[in-house]
Amino acid sequence: MAVTGKVTMIVDAPLDEAYQKFCDYSLWDQWMPAGFRPVKGPARVLQAGDNVKVKLKAVGPAMTVPLKVFRATTNKEITWGGGPKGLLHAEHCFFFEDAGEGRTRIRSEETFKGALTLPAPGLMKKEIERIGGEQLQAFSTWISK
């Protein structure tokens, strides 16, 4: 079973700036929320094939989690994910598009697949959307300064 959560936000920054700053791992410590903190990764804009580590605090104790960047298309998309396939594998996509007037629309779509999605898919969807919303809100606040 797959569980997907989606959140969209418009940020006050042009498309190129929003994409570059959102995808620059070296800037994550300036804006990522407390539940998703950078631990180890490249000091540059992420590229497909990169491996990073983050400290994830969703439910239960915080864990350091390895993630792989699956796709990175400049000014369009960045997708990362990880976890054991069949148990709880996640793929988190962020899609970027020009919203006009120097603003950018960012859509977060995160999908979890595996046996651990079965017990409470509705609660999991709400948690996915909460975390994606926190990431987008934190980025919007930071880039607007």
Assess contact for 116 and 2: CB atoms under 8 A. no
> What is the residue extent of each domain of the chain?
2-143
Backbone angles phi, psi at 10, to 5 degrees: -105, 130
Measured CA to CA, the distance from residue 55 to residue 66 in angstroms comes to 9
Handedness of CA 69, 71, 73, 75 (dihedral sign): negative
Angle subtended at Cα 127 by Cα 47 and Cα 115, rounded to the nearest 5 degrees: 80
Stated pTM of the model: 0.94
Give me the tens of pLDDT residue by residue for the chain, a chain 145 residues long.
899 999 999 999 999 999 999 999 999 999 999 999 999 999 999 999 999 999 988 767 889 999 999 999 999 999 999 988 888 899 999 999 999 999 999 999 999 999 988 888 999 999 999 999 999 999 999 999 8
Tell me yes or no: is domain 2-143 CATH 3.40.50.300.
no
